[in-house]
């Protein structure tokens, strides 16, 4: 039991950041664009104030221990099917999403 709070033992966080530049043709975004973030989210929590002395608090901020990182070093978490269409973007459109998923 990893407890009720999101931590490295019960949560996997993926990042999706894709942009179709103006003047380029439409693009299809597939599940292979999801990238694992082993240290948790990069999305800063709304209730935090910037502080020059410390890193801002994120929605899921944890430090993966070396045991869990070494388990995933050769085979990091990823979607099972990398060919699922998530979105189709036109010129000037983009997707920025950070998603945590409890195990």
Q: How many domains does the chain have?
A: 1
pLDDT on residue 49: 61
Looking at the domain assignment, is residue 77 inside a domain? yes
Looking at the domain assignment, is residue 86 inside a domain? yes
Domain of 36, CATH number, reads 2.170.120.12
pLDDT on residue 21: 93
pLDDT on residue 101: 53
Looking at the domain assignment, is residue 30 inside a domain? yes
Residue with tokens 């070093």: 73
The domain of 75 spans 8-102
Return d(Cα 83, Cα 13) in angstroms, integer.
19
Looking at the domain assignment, is residue 28 inside a domain? yes
Ordered per-residue pLDDT tens for the chain, 103 residues: 555 676 667 777 888 889 999 999 999 999 999 988 877 766 555 555 666 666 666 656 666 555 556 677 778 888 899 999 999 999 999 987 655 555 5
Looking at the domain assignment, is residue 1 inside a domain? no
What's the pLDDT tens digit per position in 68-90?
A: 566 777 788 888 999 999 999 99
Looking at the domain assignment, is residue 48 inside a domain? yes
Looking at the domain assignment, is residue 79 inside a domain? yes
- Residue 34, C-beta contacts closer than 8 angstroms, at least 6 positions apart: 14, 15, 16, 78, 79
β-strands 11-19, 94-102 pairing: antiparallel
> In this structure, are residues 78 and 72 in contact, taking their beta carbons and an 8 Å threshold?
no
Looking at the domain assignment, is residue 60 inside a domain? yes
């Amino acid at each position: 039991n990893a407890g009720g709070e999101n931590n490295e033992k019960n949560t996997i966080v993926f990042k999706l950041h894709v942009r179709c530049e103006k003047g380029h043709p439409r693009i299809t975004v597939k599940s292979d664009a999801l990238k694992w973030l082993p240290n948790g989210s990069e999305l800063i929590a709304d209730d935090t104030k910037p502080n020059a002395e410390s890193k801002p608090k994120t929605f899921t901020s944890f430090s993966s221990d070396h045991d869990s990182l070494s388990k995933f070093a050769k085979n990091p978490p990823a979607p099972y099917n990398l060919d699922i269409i998530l979105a189709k973007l036109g010129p000037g459109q983009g997707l920025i999403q950070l998603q945590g998923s409890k195990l």
